[in-house]
Structure 1
């Protein structure tokens, strides 16, 4: 009986000691100064740090998120009016730092602005080595998203997306779109994955 109790206690201590701990923060002000440590739920194998910056007219929004993740891909995406950068790791409290600010890499892609023009260009940064074009419909309205993306982010998405590798290879034609809907959808994708 003493052996069973000892083995059970040892097992509980062993499994509890192997739970991943990550910093947790959801900041709409762009600062994670008050971040806390969280023990990740079963199934979470990574810590993530994500920064999203959106520009709508003259207003800029900056959101920082740190949390546990079931699956996470390091990389970034720039759609002209929104940039999302994620950094992923798999050791305790490894997401203490914010996702890094990417540096321009010389590549350019087209993006669609809030005036529904897709002839604007955006400078790609960091590991953003692909131009993308995603199309869809929402409420009967045609939607197109264009911009720069890291290969790791592109490979992880299940959304139907066309990609290309050359400068400005994602076309410049204009379309009708809802910029606010696209921003919210992309941010929701990153929050849920």
Structure 2
């Protein structure tokens, strides 16, 4: 009887010890100063920290987020008006540090990007962005295209994305320059939220 109780208690301690806990926060002020510890749901095996910088004309905004993740990949993505970096780890509360701001230092790679009217803008990639990315989808009955630069690790994560038509390629301007006239900003925000939460 004592052996059964001991095994049962060890089992409880063993399974409880395998629940990952991560910091959680969402900040529109540029810093995750107020963060809480969250026990991740079953199946969430990573902690994530991300920083996104959006530029619209003279207005710049920065969003920092931390949470549990199923399929997080450390890396960066630049869609022209939105740049984001993600840092991922797999131990308890390992996402205490904010993800770094996206790099502004060009690395020599160039990709096409879209601005809502055309996808022939040339974007200078920076940091670890060594791939060009293109995403297409249908939202509200309209076809939408976004293009830009991404790290290889971010491209690898898109294979499990809920978005269809995501592809990456290597080489300058390999993501084509087709024009687009649909809701570009909507897909940018959707892609950004996907990468921030996964």
Task: Place the TM-score, normalised by the shorter chain, in its bin.
Answer: 0.7 to 0.9
Deviations 1:107-160 (A, max 9, x none): 11111114x132222221222111122233333433211100111211221432
Structure 2 equivalent of residue 39 of structure 1: 39
User: Is 2:113 aligned against 1:108?
Assistant: no
Deviations 1:76-109 (A, max 9, x none): 1100011121111111221111222334322111
User: 1:39–1:161: structure 2 CA closer, same or farther, 3 Å change rule?
Assistant: closer
Q: Following the alignment from structure 2 to structure 1, what is the Cα–Cα distance between the partners of residues 175 and 37?
A: 42
Structure 2 equivalent of residue 124 of structure 1: 125
Q: Following the alignment from structure 1 to structure 2, what is the Cα–Cα distance between the partners of residues 74 and 144?
A: 24
Tell me if structure 2 keeps the 8 A contact 1:54–1:183: no
Q: Following the alignment from structure 2 to structure 1, what is the Cα–Cα distance between the partners of residues 176 and 69?
A: 34
Greater shift, 85-94 or 175-184, is seen at: 175-184
- Give the match's secondary structure for 2:80: coil
Structure 1 equivalent of residue 194 of structure 2: 189
- Give the match's secondary structure for 2:187: helix
- Give the match's secondary structure for 1:157: helix
The offset of 1:192, in angstroms, is: 4.4
Tell me if structure 2 keeps the 8 A contact 1:141–1:176: no
Taking structure 2 as the reference length, the TM-score comes to: 0.86
Q: Following the alignment from structure 2 to structure 1, what is the Cα–Cα distance between the partners of residues 21 and 47?
A: 8
Q: Following the alignment from structure 1 to structure 2, what is the Cα–Cα distance between the partners of residues 8 and 133?
A: 52
Please show how residues 1-193 of structure 1 align to structure 2 within 5 Å.
1-101=1-101, 102=103, 103-114=105-116, 116-158=117-159, 159-193=164-198
- Give the match's secondary structure for 1:19: coil
User: 1:39–1:142: structure 2 CA closer, same or farther, 3 Å change rule?
Assistant: closer
Taking structure 1 as the reference length, the TM-score comes to: 0.88
- Give the match's secondary structure for 1:128: coil
Runs of 4+ residues over 4 Å off in structure 1: none
- Structure 1, unaligned runs of 5 or more: none
- Give the match's secondary structure for 2:130: strand
Give the total of aligned pairs: 192
